[in-house]
Amino acid sequence: MPNIEVLIDTLTNDVIERRQSLDDALFALQSWFDHNVELMDDDERVSFSNKLNAEKDAAQRDGRPHGDDASLVASVLRLHIMRLLYRYDERHQPATHPLDDSPYERARRRLQSALRETEIAINEARVDTAIANAHTIMDDRSANRRWLQDALTRLQTVAQKDLVKLANAVPMPNLPPLNPLQRAGFWILGIKQEEIGRRNLQSLKRLAELQNNQLIEMAHLLVESFSAIEDPIGTKQAMTLLTELGVEH
């Protein structure tokens, strides 16, 4: 199996030297991944992830979002591989069959599913945006715009879920009956069973609000990215998304 780091170095040099486009390099990574992902063990995954994190830490210490052109291209290629790994793992998650089918559990599962879909879309959009921005060093405005549009489409799709509305729709959970000893313990500690249920709902609402805020933050980034390449249509679409998310301009 070709070493992934060697392949990334080779592709990075090819892109910088204009022997192939960044999109071609990403396609080559996809091909490598499809043929070799099952051969990557946990140690290789951890090593790969650590190198990517080290790059992020170094960039933060330098006070720059990226280093030179070669570092930027290499980072984007690593981000793409990490994204492919996440996709692969997501597809291979074992199916769950919950036993509790109460109204609370059904609503909670709908919310959790929407939260997960939104998290994945935000992460994917971040990678798309990084790839789009990397195309600027290759003077490929068309590819830049195309990747930003991909990121925007991902966010537009999950924004229709309305996480806050789903969280508010979760009813109070069924409270299990307490035996005399449990009731006495709750009374001594000053705990009200109904308060536990309310706090549970508040926790779900906070999760929805936090995820929604991340979605808004990503939409703001797309507005700035489209504006930077002077794309009025993309800018307007991203601002429309912000309006749909409840943000006033």
Give pLDDT tens digits for 143-198: 999 999 999 999 999 999 899 999 999 998 776 665 666 655 555 655 666 666 77
Distances in Å between the Cα of 105 and the Cα atoms of 115, 146, 163 are: 15, 40, 16
- Tell me what pLDDT residue 188 has: 63
Give pLDDT tens digits for 144-156: 999 999 999 999 9
- Tell me what pLDDT residue 172 has: 84
- Tell me what pLDDT residue 61 has: 41
Write the CB contacts of 146 (distance below 8 Å, at least 6 apart in sequence). Answer: 132
Alpha helix (H) residue ranges in the chain: 4-16, 22-36, 42-62, 69-91, 103-134, 141-159, 163-168, 180-189, 193-228, 232-244
Residue 76 CA, distance from chain mean position: 15
Rounded Cα distance, 239 and 227, in Å: 11
Residues of the chain with pLDDT under 50: 1, 60-66
Rounded Cα distance, 56 and 79, in Å: 11
Among 25, 27, 132, 124, residue whose Cα is nearest residue 82 = 124
Rounded Cα distance, 45 and 48, in Å: 5
- Tell me what pLDDT residue 177 has: 61
DSSP 98-110: -S---HHHHHHHH
Q: Residue 230 phi/psi, 5° resolution?
A: 55, 50
